[in-house]
Amino acid sequence: MPSHLHPWPNERIRSFRRALLEFFQQRQRDLPWRDAPWRDTPTPYGTLVSEIMLQQTRVETVVPYYLRWMKRFPDPETLAAADDEEVLRMWQGLGYYSRARNLLKAVREVVTEYGGEMPRDRAQLEGLPGVGPYTAGAVASIAFGEPEPAVDGNVRRVLARLMDDPVPKPGTLERWARGLVDPHRPGDFNQALMELGAMVCTPRSPSCSSCPVSTHCEALAKGTVEERPAPKTRRAIPRLVEAVAVMVRTPTGGRPEPEVLLLRRPATGLLARMWGCPGREVVGGDDPARVAWELARELLAGEIVDGAADRSLAPGESVCEERAEGPETPTELPSVEHVFSHRKVTYRPYRFLVEEADAPLGDAPFADSPNLRWVSFGELGGVPLPVAQLRILDSVRGAEADGPP
């Protein structure tokens, strides 16, 4: 909204802008996606990449990923032409992989619909896959100088304290941010608000004594800074256990190093299109080793365990009792825990050694499946793998180095 519709008088708004922009000029962090005399001027594409990466991820984590990404995909055309798996691999370790998939979709749309030029209109930006109101406002203001607000978590906290509002509504935040944004330096202003929230107006123990806009803060005047905004009620995160069948094919004359069987996840849902060792949720009181064994047997068409492939284990029967002799007994590997945004998963991996005699047709029954393949240890670096799977495979390599059980 225009500044004259903001509850503050115009002179107070101008005073707030001056103080905040001076703070930004003096204390902004040197980040590779920001304009500086010693680096190339950031492109609108680079701004989009940085803003997508920064969603739910700390700045210090993003910096090396951004630098690698821009070196490999320096412009929209290069990214649009890239293989989907390579894009996921470049994102590997950053988490929230839907961001990478949406970024790829958005940039391909920019190339096909806008001739490779990022749209500057906020509505058009919001029409791109994975681009919401905040990201659209950030790109429009930072890359194009459009007087658009950009309200992320840091800005929400700053505005809630300025207003002394425990639970500010999205519409209220949007109106306040739009009324405050500097029309001459909107990109710097929005980044300054973000920096203020990240460096000074922090969730806990804010540095009010060094805040450049403390005289404008209603919460500080009323002694309610620590209570603003009111903490959200946290829902309990469900905990799941997943048995993982780590099937390792031993070397032969034609295969100088071990191979591991990887499964590609479906095109939608959690970790979509990522690769990893096959897994299955453990329900109730089921034995994780049993679940992993049955999964391995199904995948290898019953050939993984001689003499036991034609039946499931009886309830309570131990895998080790069924397979007490030889290296085919599965080896339990260290558990791996990983917290997603909406669930906590404990992975219980078990290693199965697959001899040539166990799978005489080699890649069958996987030859016709694009979602199952044997990958040598040396080739794992070229496959997009989630962090938890990387940890599991690290333990597998360690077990292989120690020799068979």
Condensed to tens digits (0 to 9), the pLDDT of residues 40-91 reads: 667 899 999 999 999 989 999 999 999 999 999 999 999 999 999 999 999 9
Render 137-184 in DSSP notation, one character per residue.
HHHHHHHH--------HHHHHHHHHHHT-SS--HHHHHHHHHHHS-SS
Which residues lie closer than 8 Å to 125 by C-beta, 6 or more apart? 118, 119, 131, 135, 136, 139, 140
Give kind and range of the element (H or E) at residue 232.
none
Cα–Cα distance between 77 and 338 in angstroms, integer?
35
CA angle 230, 234, 236 (to 5 degrees): 170
Cα–Cα distance between 236 and 4 in angstroms, integer?
44
**Catalytic one of 11, 51, 218, 321:** 51
User: Which is the CATH superfamily of the domain at 239-402?
Assistant: Nucleoside Triphosphate Pyrophosphohydrolase (3.90.79.10)
Cα–Cα distance between 389 and 404 in angstroms, integer?
21
Helix and strand counts by DSSP (H, E) for the chain: 15, 8
Residue 41's alpha-carbon distances to 24, 45, 191, in angstroms, are 18, 11, 16
Which residues lie closer than 8 Å to 100 by C-beta, 6 or more apart? 87, 88, 90, 91, 94
Beta bridge partners of residue 275, listed in sequence order: 264
Catalytic annotation on 325?
no
pLDDT tens, the chain, 405 aa long: 444 457 899 999 999 999 999 999 999 999 999 876 555 667 899 999 999 999 989 999 999 999 999 999 999 999 999 999 999 999 998 988 899 999 999 999 999 999 999 999 999 999 999 999 999 999 999 999 999 999 999 999 999 999 999 999 999 999 999 999 999 999 999 999 999 999 999 999 999 999 999 999 999 999 999 999 988 877 888 999 999 999 998 777 666 788 899 988 887 788 888 899 999 999 988 999 989 988 888 877 543 332 223 333 333 333 333 433 323 568 899 999 988 878 899 999 999 888 754 543 344 444 456 788 889 888 898 899 998 999 999 988 776 655 554
Q: Which residues of 195-216 are buried (b: 16+ CB within 10 A; e: fewer)?
A: bbbbbbbeeeebeeeebbbbeb
Each residue of 305-328: pLDDT tens digit? 322 233 333 333 333 334 333 235
One-letter amino acid at 167 equals: V
Closest CA to 29 of 191, 157, 221: 191
Return the domain boundaries, the chain: 3-227, 239-402
Which residues lie closer than 8 Å to 121 by C-beta, 6 or more apart? 140
| CATH architecture entry for 3-227 | Orthogonal Bundle (1.10)
